[in-house]
Amino acid sequence: MIQDRTFTRIQELIAGYRHEMIAMQRELVRRNAVGPDNQGPGEAAKAAYLADELRRLGLTVTDYPAPDERVAGGQRPNLIALLPGRSQEKVWVLSHLDVVPEGDRNLWQSDPFELHLDGDLLYGRGVADDHQGIVASIFAVRALMAAGVTPPRTIGLALVADEETGSQKGLAYLLTHHRDLFSPQDLIIVPDAGSPDGTLIEIAEKSMLWLRLTVRGKQCHASKPDLGVNTLRASAQAIVALDALAREFNAVDPFFDPPHSTFEPTKIEANVDNINTIPGLGVFYLDCRVLPVYDLAQVIGKVREICQDIEQRCGVAITVQTVQQVQAPPATPATAPVVKALAAAVQAVYQRQAQPRGIGGGTVAAFFRRQGLPAAVWLSDPLTAHQPNECININTLLGDCQVLAHVFCQED
Ligand SMILES: [Zn+2]
């Protein structure tokens, strides 16, 4: 239990951080941290700024960088900041430093890499994903320190690289090379997804399968189509035929949101440059989020079967390559201490009943779960991540900061 008066004091302190939180968001948005897989500079500038801020607060900060030749300096930062508690056991908040690219700039109403304020709304790339987690956790720690509270558990803030492009230079690197940082007794919170009202505590996710389909035909002049084999037409037919996946793998599990598996055609690579050439090569991608009851090998088998049918019908050759294949790890138990702690904090701050659920998006929590570390993903999620005009409400940021502070103060 938490002393009511102590938590009220912490809430007052957090309310007073409003302008400083906006200022930190401004500094974070300004430091473009798109990763090198997306042709960005990486997280170094943002990490340097945050390491300074955390040290100024009085936390010990250690970098566990992952080597990466593609970025200036040759490494990707993974910061661990600790505030000692009465116990060695920890409460972790793991947020990520990197952001996704801004996409089509014309769709933005302001510069994606300059914070834009409109009343209580903050706009900019990363303000939600994942600055909301970064800023909320840092100011929650600051409020505890300002209130003179020594937390029951040691508080660990992990600010990692490379979440948006596979985590191999981020959490996966930490769990391979510095596994002893984390213990199954720790509470691990990943503030990177949730529902707008803060009532979704994500404890399970679907399996993820990304496929690259290459369609080979024969290029020719568009006025003489009989001399070639049109891969754009074949690709279109294949994309429509692949809708059969949703009918084949049609299980429904209301524990998940959405409750069924999804199979979406997404990216398509450029083919010919001119209108009067029939393309002889086509490449497109499928993003599949599959309920854990299915083995991903079954899905790949069905994709090949559908493609064989298209090959016969259209006279093309189709190869199916796996870009990413992640079978869902075991769920964090709905009764895990981290779930109970988050639910208690959401109740105290928002007066709402939070529920453990499964989601479709893959999160870094899967890396923890695969190693038997029970992690929960939670955020009052504005659902604007990866969109143009990514946006959060400052009041939500303040509320989530209180929720994390409440968890930090809870006695076991
Ligand atoms: Zn994120």
Domain end (from 278, 293, 326): 326
Same domain, 222 and 286: yes
Q: What is the per-residue burial (b if ≥16 Cβ within 10 Å, else e) of 179-202? A: eebbeeebbbbbbbbbbeebbbbb
Tokens 């002893």 sit on residue: 180
Pairing state between β 75-76 and 66-67 = antiparallel
Distance 31 CA to ligand 1 centre (A): 16
Its domain, for residue 113, covers: 4-205+328-409
Which band of pLDDT confidence, cut at 50, 70 and 90, is reported for residue 326? confident
Q: Which residues are paired to 290 by β-bridges? A: 207
Ligand 1 centroid from CA 164, angstroms: 7
98 CA from centroid of ligand 1 (Å): 8
Can you give the CATH number for the domain in which 21 is found? 3.40.630.10
**Can you state the angle between helices 131-146 and 44-57, rounded to 10 degrees?**
10
> Where does the pLDDT of residue 17 fall: very low under 50, low under 70, confident under 90, or very high at 90 and above?
very high
Query: Based on the domain organization, do 48 and 130 belong to the same domain?
Result: yes
Q: Which helix (H) or strand (E) holds 94?
A: strand 87-96
The per-residue pLDDT for 1 is: 55
Which tens digit of pLDDT belongs to each residue from 94-114?
A: 999 999 999 999 999 999 999
Average pLDDT of span 279-305: 96
Tokens at residue 89, please? 């056991």
Rounded to 5, what percent of the chain is helix, strand, coil? 35, 25, 40
pLDDT digits (tens, 9 = 90+) for 183-212: 999 999 999 999 999 999 999 989 999 999
Q: From CA 34, how far away is CA 26, in angstroms rounded?
A: 16
Query: How confident is residue 363, by pLDDT bands cut at 50, 70 and 90?
Result: confident
| CA of residue 391 to ligand 1 center, whole Å | 14
Whether omega for the bond prior to residue 68 falls within 30 degrees of 0, making it cis, is no
Q: How confident is the model at residue 288 (pLDDT cuts 50, 70, 90)?
A: very high
Q: Which of 191, 158, 153 is nearest to 174 (CA)?
A: 158
CATH code of 277's domain: 3.30.70.360
Residue where a domain stops, chosen among 268, 299, 326: 326
How many other CB atoms are found less than 10 A from the CB of residue 318? 23
Contact between 155 and 62 under an 8 Å Cβ cutoff? The reply is: no
* pLDDT at 2 (0 to 100): 66
Same domain, 248 and 227: yes
> Is residue 349 domain-shared with residue 404, that is, in the same domain?
yes
From 130, 161, 107, 211, select the one nearest 392 (Cα to Cα).
Answer: 130
Q: How far is the CA of 78 from the centre of ligand 1 (A)?
A: 15
| 333, 390: one domain | yes
pLDDT tens for each residue of 39-94: 999 999 999 999 999 999 999 999 999 999 999 999 999 999 999 999 999 999 99
CA distances from 33 to 192, 230, 382 (A): 16, 40, 21
Weakest-pLDDT range from 127-141, 224-238, 363-377: 363-377
Q: How far is the CA of 309 from the centre of ligand 1 (A)?
A: 38
CA of 191 to the centre of ligand 1 (A): 8
187 lies in the same domain as 281: no
Mark whether 24 and 88 lie in a shared domain.
yes
Q: Residue 362's pLDDT is what?
A: 74
Q: Say how far apart CA 388 and CA 295 lie, in whole Å.
A: 35
Q: Which residues are catalytic?
A: 98, 163
Q: From the CB of residue 344, how many other CB atoms can be counted at a distance below 10 Å?
A: 17
Give the Å distance between the CA of 42 and the centre of ligand 1: 15
The answer on 33 and 179 residing in a single domain is yes
Task: Say whether both 362 and 318 belong to one domain.
Answer: no
CA 338–ligand 1 middle distance (angstroms)? 20
What's the length of the chain? 412
Identify whether the C-beta of residue 13 lies closer than 8 Å to the C-beta of residue 406.
Answer: no
pTM score, whole prediction: 0.83
CA atoms within 13 A on the CB side of 314: 25
- Output the CA 181–ligand 1 centroid distance in Å: 22
Q: Indicate if 228 and 84 belong to the same structural domain.
A: no
**Of the residues 326, 356, 380, the one at which a domain ends:** 326
Please report which confidence band the pLDDT of residue 330 belongs to, taking 50, 70 and 90 as the band edges: confident
User: What is the total count of domains within the chain?
Assistant: 2
Residue written as token pair 């945050």: 50
Residues 243 and 262 in one domain: yes
- Same structural domain, 35 and 155: yes
